[in-house]
Amino acid sequence: MRTGSLFLLARYWPTILLVGLAATAAPIRGASAQSQDRLALTQRATWWRYPSKAELANRTRDVLPTIEADVPEIEPNNSAAAATAASIGDRVTGSISPVGDVDYYVVTVPAGTFLELEVEASRVGSFLDATLQLFDRDGVTSLEFNDDAGSLDSRIRFQIESEGDYFFAIRDLGGGGGSSYFYSVDISAIPPPPGNPITTFASGFQVPIALAFDSVGNLFVADVAMGRITRVAPDGSSSLFQNFVQGGDWMTFDAFGNLIVPSWDGTLQIITDTEIDTLSIGINPGPIALGPDGGLWMGSWDMMTGFPILSHRDPYGGLIEAFLLPVSPAALAFAPSGELYMMGFDNSLMKLSNGVVETLVTGSFENCCFTGMALDEDGNLYVANGFLGEVSLYGPDGTLLEEVFAFMDAGTPSTLAFGRDANGMGTARLFASSATFGLYQAEGRVVEFNPAAIRAPGHVVDVGALLRITKNRLRGGVIGQEYADTLTAADPAVTWSIAAGTLPPGLSLDGVTGVVSGVPMESGAFRFQARAESQSLAGERAYELVIEEPVLSTTDVIDELLGVGLLSPSELLYLDLIGNRNDEFDIGDVRAFLQRMGTVNSPEVLRD
């Protein structure tokens, strides 16, 4: 791992928590019949997990650069002061012996060099589980640390800014040592990948994860360690946007310009300059993206089964439909084609096209661990790998275009985001949140990749202006009882219609007044999308209207049948609606009621 497990813990802790919660959770509520059908076409869930040491040990090694000479270590080289001298192009060899040994080397590096240090030990049978640390010219200041890099063996790639003698140290992760703890380290100057050099755009964070640009080019950075969101102006100046934010692994701007931050407690935090509002959505949300329809798309888990799901919600968070996914998504992003690209926790790439999930890159531990994704206007996918400290570039169909588009000079890339200009247009500037973990603290920053290497400006989902529907929820109704409630919008001069779904039988929508009224005839939770249109704007909002059955006792119903009852007209209507619907209350209705109560076949004689 590039900088220790703290990073992955920080990035994936909601996942770890949610997986734990999933076993005790509730089912997906109110998915449409269509989506329930999709859910029925269940693919078995594949859970992301971190590869074990044993799995890492079995990986094949990468192709190593040509090495000119072997340089054996010269013990004692247990400090920077006693470091064994080596040069770029050398392969230093040695062993971590005795137990607890640490070997230092010093290398003269020209300015601008992309230095690579690659350990070979475990892959060739050594007992050594190496860690590698690169120090600045003072031999003390840590520049980079790595444990594993695709195997138990370590690798550091680092962009050297200033010429000088740099130090690196190798030791065993567990503090072991002995003659079986042999190793070699190849010291190379490698060609810089196109996305390098990397520059620091904003700093002063601890663990920045989620990034989002607003419509005037400000960058918002969620720091999960500090629980705050910082606004970074286009000139790089920073200011506090909001404190006390839960979560921060993902966020997006909604169709109304609010910053939406999912929280592990089953809510969406709707954040503005002045307040944090919360919306309970009944699931534990994960990655989130704004859709072309103005709706919110988010990954989560089915609370009952634990299966990963993708939910499509209206701009206000109301559920429209849900899709079962083969794997939990770790990032979502819409492409110019309107297709939703998803990065899986198993290091896969998928896309949702016409309601069907297609796998573009199969999940693999070899790819571990994808941490962020951004799409440009050509549909290319820039994928961050926090484990390797690299960014890869994929084509729209999942073809790998650049295995190493860029590597981090320090820290781990997590979220990737394309910048936006003052008009909200996507720019060819790609940013990543990054944290470097020390033993007791982390330093975070936002970096920018070489803009000359960006193939196209970032894709921005532009939904335009939406008519805001202000009615949050419709009150519930009861079968047989007169019902009325009114839909409202920011502009009162609108016409109303049902865009999808159906009202409860017996209710209708007045297209002019927005009044939903009638006498409900069936119980249940009825989902529909109301559409409001003014002369210039339109908007839709999902509603769930719950119709309940009145609470009646068998005695009351039988008394009514036997001629001494006191049921209300609405209760009699309810009984007829669940019975034979002949507009009269009769013994057929009572028999239907007894059937509902499960007592129609209970032998008994009762004096009422």
Partner 1 sequence: MIDHRRGAGTWIKQWSSICLVVGCGALLACGGDPTEAVESREFVVSLTSPNPSDGAILFSISGGVIAEFRTLATSGPQVHFRSTGPTTTRVAVFGNIATGGLVSFEVSLGERVQDYSAEILQVADRDNVLRSISGYTIEVIEP
Q: Which residues bind partner 1 (CB under 8 A)?
A: 558-559, 561-564, 579-580, 582, 584, 586-592, 594-595, 599-608
Count the residues in the chain: 608
Q: What is the 3-state secondary structure (H, E, C) of 433-496?
A: EEEEECCCCEEEEEEECCHHHCCCCECCCCCCCCCCECCCCCCCEECCCCEEEECCECCCCCEE
Query: Nearest approach, Cβ of 582 to partner 1 (angstroms)?
Result: 6
- Please say which residue, 360 or 594, places its beta carbon nearer to partner 1: 594
- Please say which residue, 200 or 582, places its beta carbon nearer to partner 1: 582
Task: Dig out the tokens for 515 from the structure.
Answer: 């009044």
Query: Nearest approach, Cβ of 566 to partner 1 (angstroms)?
Result: 14
- Please say which residue, 302 or 560, places its beta carbon nearer to partner 1: 560
- CA distance linking residue 182 with residue 121, whole number of Å: 6
- Please say which residue, 115 or 590, places its beta carbon nearer to partner 1: 590
Q: How far from 309 is each of 78, 267, 305, 322, 382, CA to CA, in Å?
A: 52, 16, 10, 7, 23
- Please say which residue, 289 or 592, places its beta carbon nearer to partner 1: 592
Task: Dig out the tokens for 446 from the structure.
Answer: 């936002």
- Please say which residue, 280 or 595, places its beta carbon nearer to partner 1: 595
H/E run at residue 353: strand 349-353
Residue 66 in 3-state DSSP? coil
- CA distance linking residue 380 with residue 389, whole number of Å: 20
**Cα torsion through 121, 127, 131, 135, rounded to 10:** -70
- Please say which residue, 190 or 552, places its beta carbon nearer to partner 1: 552
Query: Nearest approach, Cβ of 34 to partner 1 (angstroms)?
Result: 31
- Please say which residue, 316 or 574, places its beta carbon nearer to partner 1: 574
- Please say which residue, 273 or 604, places its beta carbon nearer to partner 1: 604
489: left (phi > 0), else alpha (psi -120 to 50), else beta?
beta
- CA distance linking residue 518 with residue 476, whole number of Å: 13
- Please say which residue, 493 or 566, places its beta carbon nearer to partner 1: 566
Query: Nearest approach, Cβ of 586 to partner 1 (angstroms)?
Result: 5
Query: Nearest approach, Cβ of 554 to partner 1 (angstroms)?
Result: 9
- Please say which residue, 452 or 605, places its beta carbon nearer to partner 1: 605
Query: Nearest approach, Cβ of 573 to partner 1 (angstroms)?
Result: 16
Query: Nearest approach, Cβ of 532 to partner 1 (angstroms)?
Result: 41
Q: Edge to edge, what strands does the sheet with 370-375 contain?
A: 370-375, 381-385, 390-394, 400-407
DSSP code at position 569: H
- CA distance linking residue 259 with residue 310, whole number of Å: 20
Query: Nearest approach, Cβ of 596 to partner 1 (angstroms)?
Result: 11
Q: Which of 297, 203, 208, 301 is nearest to 249 (CA)?
A: 208
Query: Nearest approach, Cβ of 595 to partner 1 (angstroms)?
Result: 8
- CA distance linking residue 132 with residue 124, whole number of Å: 17
| 114-120 and 155-159 beta bridge pairing | antiparallel
Q: Greatest CA separation found in the chain?
A: 107
Match 């709706």 to its residue by tokens: 295
- Please say which residue, 290 or 561, places its beta carbon nearer to partner 1: 561
- CA distance linking residue 36 with residue 30, whole number of Å: 9
Query: Nearest approach, Cβ of 577 to partner 1 (angstroms)?
Result: 12
Contact 340, 289 (CB under 8 A): yes
Query: Nearest approach, Cβ of 602 to partner 1 (angstroms)?
Result: 6
Enumerate long-range contacts of 504-507, CB under 8 Å, 24 or more apart: 504/477, 504/545, 504/547, 507/477, 507/483, 507/545
DSSP code at position 534: -
- Please say which residue, 249 or 589, places its beta carbon nearer to partner 1: 589
Query: Nearest approach, Cβ of 523 to partner 1 (angstroms)?
Result: 17
Query: Nearest approach, Cβ of 559 to partner 1 (angstroms)?
Result: 7
- CA distance linking residue 178 with residue 127, whole number of Å: 9
